[in-house]
């Protein structure tokens, strides 16, 4: 019996025919309220929600997966598959928690925290939601600026990568201040998804077809490239790398904080479980393909991001350009979900401020936010270390710990099937392991990267 068919809603099956009317009543009530606030309108199709979900989750996290396997061994694929199954369960119970309050649908992840544990729960959810959004967007700015810098150095353009971070942030700022609702992000998410898929396919194709450079010295413009003839080693398991793997997988699969807005934009919200399953099947498949191909090709010499291992050529350059496009598209989508929470808290809506004042306040607040992102990114421009730290500090909690704690609190232990309690305990254990040990490993790696940079 699967999660879609077994989770009870008011003692009925989740999204079952018997519960459909009750859920639609909640959705309609929340839709009306959301429209009055000027935030969520149900104008997106289920396919649009699929693109939004897949485009947001599938992304730069895939570029670190071969490196994660190099740290932890082939067992990482098994852990990755388990995280993919948990991701489906986590996405469904997150949305189910939105319907836990009789007579209405909660609007966001932060509201779930408040419904579960009052104001402490709200602050707890808000903190990790903000940390996840800020950390992920900083990571994307670092990746985009660094990638452009790497691409242009061989052409003789030696502008600092921080300059390119500024240019990328400005490009991200334009759609960010224009977008107001998650329903408006489906089209750009589709382009982001397509670019991610092409990047993964290019990286995998090069890894299988031409994993090593021609014989000769390692070129100075790609010091991480693997030379043909180098002995590549693999291992099945290295337990010391498992916490880092969990932190990275948490980052790669996390999206719970934005799921309420994606589902809230759907014209047919009862399709959410099917959207979640389809999205996670696609995401997990691409993650496994990318991780296995990269680790097979480069073994213990794998670096992060994976594109740094690829030999120079048209295909690798195309992949780097596409990943820049993806992260530039992803930041406005991700930050829109956080801004909607902030604007709701500070009543930055047309109803409270009027049309023009609301637009000015929204533009100003979002400009300050993305400016802060740019400043932090320039201060700590280390892709791999920041990804591990963000995954451990925030996404381990958002993806694994908070959803099950909120679910248990809102629905009670007696109303939840026994097997879901087992899944919940596994989620808690993995989340705590990722947060504690993953944060330790990430902090040490970041410290070492900063010290190495200062010594050069």
pLDDT in tens, the chain (456 residues): 334 333 333 333 333 333 333 333 333 433 343 444 444 567 678 888 888 888 778 866 777 889 889 989 999 999 999 999 999 999 999 999 998 888 788 888 888 999 999 999 999 998 888 888 888 888 888 888 988 988 888 888 888 888 999 999 999 998 888 766 554 555 666 777 788 788 888 888 888 776 654 333 444 455 455 555 567 788 998 888 888 788 888 888 988 878 888 888 888 888 999 999 999 999 999 999 999 988 988 888 888 778 777 777 788 888 888 888 888 877 887 787 778 778 877 888 777 888 888 888 888 989 998 999 899 888 888 776 776 777 677 878 888 999 999 999 999 988 999 999 999 999 999 988 888 877 787 788 778 877 777 776
> For residue 55, what are the CA distances in angstroms to 60, 138, 280?
11, 18, 11
What is the pLDDT at residue 80? 93
Q: Could you give the domains of the chain? A: 42-335+374-455 (1.20.1740.10)
What is the pLDDT at residue 239? 85
What is the pLDDT at residue 28? 40
What is the pLDDT at residue 225? 52
Q: Is 266 helix (H, G, I), strand (E, B) or coil?
A: strand
Q: Which residue, 334, 340, 348, is CA-closest to 390?
A: 334
What is the pLDDT at residue 41? 64
What is the pLDDT at residue 230? 63
> For residue 190, what are the CA distances in angstroms to 88, 147, 282?
20, 22, 14
Look-up of token digits 């450079």: 213
Look-up of token digits 């104008």: 43
> For residue 235, what are the CA distances in angstroms to 247, 249, 266, 289, 314?
20, 19, 44, 18, 32
What is the pLDDT at residue 222? 52
Scored b (16 or more CB within 10 A) or e, 175-195 reads: bbbebbbbbbbbebbbebbeb
Stretch (H or E) spanning 9: strand 8-9
Cα 350 from Cα 348, distance rounded (Å): 7
Q: Which residue, 427, 387, 17, 8, is CA-closest to 256?
A: 427
What is the pLDDT at residue 188? 66
What is the pLDDT at residue 229? 57
Give me 351's structure tokens: 């109803």
What is the pLDDT at residue 428? 94
Q: Which residue, 242, 214, 236, is CA-closest to 226?
A: 214
């Amino acid at each position: 019996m699967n999660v879609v068919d077994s989770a009870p809603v008011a003692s009925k099956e989740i999204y079952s025919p018997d519960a459909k009317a009750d859920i639609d009543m909640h959705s309609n009530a929340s839709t009306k309220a959301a429209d009055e606030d000027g935030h969520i309108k149900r104008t997106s199709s289920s396919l649009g929600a699929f693109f939004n979900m897949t485009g947001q989750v599938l992304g730069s996290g895939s570029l670190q997966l071969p490196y994660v396997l190099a740290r932890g061994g082939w067992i990482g694929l098994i852990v990755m598959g388990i995280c993919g199954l948990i991701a489906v369960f986590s996405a469904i119970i997150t949305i189910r928690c939105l319907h836990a309050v009789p007579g209405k649908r909660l609007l966001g992840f932060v509201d779930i925290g408040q419904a579960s544990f009052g104001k402490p729960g709200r602050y707890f959810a808000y903190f990790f939601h903000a940390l996840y959004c800020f950390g992920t967007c900083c990571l994307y700015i670092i990746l985009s600026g660094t990638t452009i810098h790497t691409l242009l150095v061989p052409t003789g353009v030696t502008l600092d990568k921080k300059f390119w971070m500024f240019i990328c942030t400005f490009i991200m700022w334009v759609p960010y201040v224009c977008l107001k609702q998650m329903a408006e992000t489906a089209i750009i998410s589709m382009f982001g998804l397509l670019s991610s898929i092409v990047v993964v396919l290019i990286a995998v194709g090069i890894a299988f077809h031409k994993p090593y450079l021609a014989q000769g010295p390692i070129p100075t413009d790609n010091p991480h490239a693997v030379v043909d003839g180098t002995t590549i080693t693999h291992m099945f398991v290295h337990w010391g790398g498992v916490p880092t793997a969990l932190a990275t997988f948490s980052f790669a699969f996390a999206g719970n904080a934005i799921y309420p807005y994606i589902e809230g934009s759907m014209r047919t919200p009862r399709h959410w479980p099917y959207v979640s399953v389809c999205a996670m099947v696609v995401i997990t498949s691409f993650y496994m393909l990318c991780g296995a191909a990269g680790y097979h090709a480069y073994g213990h010499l794998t670096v992060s991001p994976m594109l740094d291992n690829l030999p120079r050529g048209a295909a690798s350059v195309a992949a780097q350009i596409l990943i820049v496009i993806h992260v530039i598209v992803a930041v406005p989508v991700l930050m829109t979900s956080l801004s909607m929470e902030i604007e709701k808290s500070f009543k930055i809506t047309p109803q409270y401020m009027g049309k023009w004042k609301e637009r000015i306040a929204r533009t100003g607040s979002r400009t300050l936010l993305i400016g802060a992102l740019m400043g932090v990114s320039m201060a700590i421009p280390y892709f791999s270390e920041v990804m591990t730290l963000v995954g451990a500090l925030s996404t381990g909690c958002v993806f694994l710990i908070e959803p099950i704690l909120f679910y248990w609190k809102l629905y009670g232990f007696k109303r939840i099937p026994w097997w879901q309690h087992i899944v919940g305990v596994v989620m808690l254990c993995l989340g705590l392991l990722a947060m504690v040990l993953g944060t330790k490993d990430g902090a040490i790696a970041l410290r070492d990267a900063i010290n190495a940079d200062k010594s050069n």
